[in-house]
Amino acid sequence: MFLSTQRQSAKAETALRLQKFKPTRPIYLALFIALGGAVFYFIIANAKLLQSERAQQHQLIEMTNAFTKAYAQERANSGVVPAAFRRIGMEHFGREVGQSSRSREVPVYIRMPGVPGLELETVEQNRQILNYIRAMANSSLPRGKEETRLEQGKVIARKIVPSLASTQTCVSCHNEALGYQAYAPGDVMGAFVIETDLTKPVVQNAYFSLGAFFVILFAALLVVGRENQRMQSAVDALKGRVEAESYAKFLASHDSLTDLPNRKLFLRRLNADVAAFHKGECENVLAVLIDVDDFKTINDTLGHDAGDAVLKKIAISLRAVFDRYGGIAARLGGDEFAGVLKVCPGGLLPDDLGSELLDELCLPFGFKGASIQASASIGVAGLDHLADTGPMQLLKAADIALYASKRGGKRCARVFDRELRKKFGRLSGLTSALPDAIRNGGVRAILQPQVDVATHQLVGFEALARWTHEGQVISPAEFIPIAEEIGLIGQLDLAVLQHAIVLSQRLMETANHEFRLSVNVSAKDFKTDAFVVQIKRVLHTSGFDPRLLTLEI
């Protein structure tokens, strides 16, 4: 079985729908998770480290101030603490803080430069820090600051806290040393500058983060790999489901044997092309009906495999022709095919299309070592030859052309022309008038005598349907097929039966003798139980003896 362009389009659509479900490669997702985890660990670890160092820096300042204050209270006379003593206390507590951090070996440096540069005889070498201390001294609300910087390849956590002139004795001592009135109580005389070298613990945290990266990467590869397999299984299941749905959708509008559009899709295209004709988008619309000649004989003599091969070969040929002109070919069922296409100005003529189709369809082909010569009857109709340019009228015209083609000896193509249009007009008129004729008693019965050839005696009658329309007697061979086609054959048979019973009863009353009555009915009447009920109702109402009635199929 070959694939049609529609089925290929359905598969392409399925592939596009499944692209968004394509599983991510495990290595990329695992690397992303591991990198994120390592960075997160590095940030949190360093944040905790910095928080701890800030607390220790604050503790160092508090310890230094407490030590100096306690010593000053011991010197009750003046309360002045020598600068060298303060320096000794700062160095002592700085060493203690460093020793408490021995496991990390974090160096801690503390100094207390003054504004002019004489506080504790310490001169600040860092111009940026010195400018900041001077800015604090000139501010009415001095504030310290904390910063973490990368200086000379080291990670430095720095804390700067203003040193205020708390007592008059402290102010007098400094003013005397400077030789002028530089300070007053509450002024900024300098600052505590505490620096902690965090290079080594930060590097250690980087190593730990690298180790965490590989641990998380290994774990993520295991988890992501497992999830990827689960997702792949889900995608495969979804893919199978979508493909099944797409194929089911394809089968709903296409023939399973030939992959041609089915009747439903063909009628949809026919309606669309006729609508385009009415909008002036094309010059004409051609409808084609094709019937394989002697298809039953092929099945009976060569087998159903050969019959299927013939249908596939015809489908290929039809698709090639109609694709060439932008139309579609369809299989309506059994050995019946159809096609429809729009014709642009100066485009394809109906006669040319019929000839081209006939040439394509009647080419011999090989099947299991044998050559099969298939043939077809073709009917072509165009909207430009119709008074009523509806899709069903166009299809009916093509059907009339196909019927004429078969009556012409098969293996030929017939175009719906003026002669067939006249016949089509008569057929349309009869189709429109027949329902009223059945309801109003226009279709009546005549009784044809049945005689015993041995005794030459009258034994019964056969009821024959007759219809006179507009003063013209219409042959049953003409109106019976119409009734079957429009679904009124059951009503017609009942109307003929009722009238035949009335006529038969009159004759039996006159002759004082029973006669058998034979009535022709369509085989379609027996497809439902309703017909049997209706026959019983007619017999009950008329009182006719059912033993005298014969129904002929």
Active site members: 335
CB 496 within 8 A of CB 445: yes
Distances (CA, A) of 383 to 11, 396, 448: 36, 11, 45
CA–CA separation, 332 vs 535, rounded Å?
A: 35
H/E stretch holding 191: strand 188-197
CA–CA separation, 203 vs 506, rounded Å?
A: 123
Q: At 389, phi and psi to the nearest 5?
A: -95, 60
CA–CA separation, 413 vs 325, rounded Å?
A: 18
CA–CA separation, 162 vs 192, rounded Å?
A: 6
Alpha helices in 185-341 (DSSP H): 199-253, 263-278, 295-302, 304-324
Nearest alpha carbon to residue 48 among 181, 194, 198, 164: 198
Query: What is the number of helices (H) and of strands (E) in the chain?
Result: 15, 16
3-class SS of residue 336: strand
Full 3-state SS string of 82-126: CHHHHHHHHHHHHHHHHHHCCCCCCCEEEECCECCCCHHHCCCCC
Tokens of 235: 């995608």
CA–CA separation, 472 vs 152, rounded Å?
A: 120
534 CB neighbour count, 10 Å cutoff: 17
Could you tell me whether strands 188-197 and 108-111 are parallel, antiparallel, or unpaired per DSSP bridges? antiparallel
CB 525 within 8 A of CB 490: yes
CB 463 within 8 A of CB 497: yes
CA–CA separation, 377 vs 358, rounded Å?
A: 8
Q: What is the DSSP letter of 529?
A: T
Alpha helices in 334-463 (DSSP H): 350-361, 391-407, 418-439
> Virtual CA dihedral for 402, 403, 405, 411, nearest 10 degrees?
80
CB 93 within 8 A of CB 106: no
Nearest alpha carbon to residue 413 among 365, 350, 363: 350
